Structure 1
Amino acid sequence: MSADAPLFERDPEAYRAYLAEGNRTQARKRVGADVLFRDGQGRILLVNPRYKPDWDLPGGMAEANEPPLEAAKREILEELGLDWRGGRMLVVDWVAPHGPWDDSLMFVFDGGVLSEGERTSLRLDENEPDGYEFVDSGVIEGRLRPHVLLRVQNALVAQRDGGTAYLHGGSSAPDIRR
């Protein structure tokens, strides 16, 4: 084989070691996946997590190598006892490093409108949220952190318009032209 041949042809084991080194040294991101559920009156489902001071959408952090949609399904089952089958992605939000945290990618999926039966069957896991409530969009402003509020507001627009939003810290990404 020619010395000019690409490494993956010349030496497959060396190429595999090269890829493994890249995998070891490249950035890894935390990934979160939340779900935007509504009731028949258009109110938004918020949960009150035990582990932080602010309300949030139901969902949570992905485990290692877990796809965001699967993380959302797992978290909804754990938090609310709801066997949610998935929905359309509304938002991807890049969150800059803050406090002790590196940057992360947050996904918001469309949970649609929960039926009366689904709403009455919600049950809280003792280790997850302390409570939940369906609230009007005006009430979320007092319950959510500012960047989460922006994320939810963008998710509502995407839900209404049939689009998907790419955000930085809850706001439209600076390099996106509308």
Structure 2
Amino acid sequence: MPQLTDQGAIDRAETDGAAIDRAETDAAETDGAAIDGPAGTGPAGTDDHERTGTWMTPEEYGASRAAVWTAAVVLVTDTDGRVLVQSVDYRADRLLPGGAVDAGEAPSAAAARELREELGVDGRYPRGLAVDWIPADTPGFPPEMRFPGEILHVYDGGTWSAERIDAVRLPAQEITGIHFAEPADLPALMDAGDARRALSALRARINGPGTALLEDGRPTAPTALDRLGVLRTRRTPLHGTWHPGPVPAQLPVRDHCGWLFGPDGRVLLLIARATGTAHLPPPTAGPATGAVPLGYRHAAQGSHARTAARLTGLPPAPDPAYARLLATPEQVRELSDWGPAGAHELAAVHEARARLSLPVPTRTPPTELPEDGVRW
């Protein structure tokens, strides 16, 4: 970074060194008269006091800095993992709640103020999910606006209950409605850059602690969820009631999946490379010990059986169309549309983990496993 000129220090240095410099300067001027320019200039006609190096005056340094706008939005989901977007009276596409940061205002304070003004909801949103750099040449801004680019902060608004959603009060103008959208539907509802940013922020929330750095909505350091494009395809609704234990003999079984634990308490998760959809694996996906029938989800289309077991390794990937990840049970649920029964299934999963003497897993970005397998 260029250094600012401390004019006082320069003046003091010139005064203190005058006795030494004067003789050298006089000699240089006499000896170099033939090649120097007119009196009062240095070599090649430059000013005697021309600065060298990277020194700048405060005015010059301030003028050299890029000016950008600043904004803050908040990502809110409901208990089914859908994203809150709002309709406004000044554009056709949907937006996350939020807006411009006022002069002298902290971005987190702006986020809280905007939700209070737009939705009538008080709150604090200290956790940042993403910081996005939006370039000045982004389409959609009229030339007369002179858009200089923008730094946009995305904060985590958490998961809102039905009661909190019912407490939303819209203002008399600007916000005309709110809607909870399936993540995969965001590109159809929002501006392309806004949708990329919202999905990147949602993946960052699922990944765990840490803020994603984005450039035009794209992560500068993509995680496995980003690389595989999870949530770009609509999740398959898998609702119904949860029942512990084995499936009764008289009930048809539609599918059978496994909660297969690694040694750190995380579980195996499959991601379809073509669609980014998340799936639990079959219970035979790898060698395992301690297998027990965990329970089943009963719905109109049949029963979905679940087995819990501890993996002792994984063979080479049988199908290159799927990536194999280790994720926390909570991350698996957040990537799925399981309805209210998902909470009961999640509780049963943690009971099985405890019975298998496995630790509570730390939420970190899901880890993609090598295609040639792994042994524990």
Which of 69, 76, 83 pairs up with 1:30? 69
Larger RCO, structures 1/2 (Cα 8 Å, 6+ apart): 1
Answer whether contact 1:78 1:128 (CA < 8 A) is retained.
no
| Residue 7 (structure 1) aligns with | 6
Pair 1:71-2:118 in alignment: no
| Residue 268 (structure 2) aligns with | none
| Residue 178 (structure 2) aligns with | 132
Q: Supply the AA of the counterpart residue of 2:120.
A: G
Q: Supply the AA of the counterpart residue of 2:200.
A: N
Which of 93, 99, 113 pairs up with 2:132? 93
Q: Supply the AA of the counterpart residue of 1:172.
A: P
Which of 58, 65, 74 pairs up with 1:19? 58
Give the distance between the partners of 2:112 and 2:181, measured in 1 at CA: 22
SS state at 1:109 partner? strand
| Residue 59 (structure 1) aligns with | 98
Distance 1:20 1:40, change over 3 A: same
Say how many residue pairs are matched.
166
| Residue 153 (structure 1) aligns with | 199
Question: Aligned-residue CA RMSD in angstroms?
Answer: 2.2
Q: Supply the AA of the counterpart residue of 1:170.
A: G
TM-score by length of 1: 0.83
Higher helix share: 1
SS state at 1:55 partner? strand
Pair 1:170-2:217 in alignment: yes
Unpaired runs of 5+ residues, structure 1, are 1-5, 12-17
Give the distance between the partners of 1:151 and 1:106, measured in 2 at CA: 10
Which of 107, 111, 118 pairs up with 2:164? 118
Give the distance between the partners of 2:130 and 2:178, measured in 1 at CA: 22
Answer whether contact 1:32 1:62 (CA < 8 A) is retained.
yes
Answer whether contact 1:62 1:68 (CA < 8 A) is retained.
yes
Give the distance between the partners of 1:111 and 1:74, measured in 2 at CA: 13
SS state at 1:132 partner? strand
Distance 1:87 1:114, change over 3 A: farther
Give the distance between the partners of 1:154 and 1:177, measured in 2 at CA: 9
Answer whether contact 2:67 2:148 (CA < 8 A) is retained.
no
Identical-residue share of aligned pairs (%) = 33
SS state at 1:54 partner? strand
Give the distance between the partners of 1:112 and 1:63, measured in 2 at CA: 24
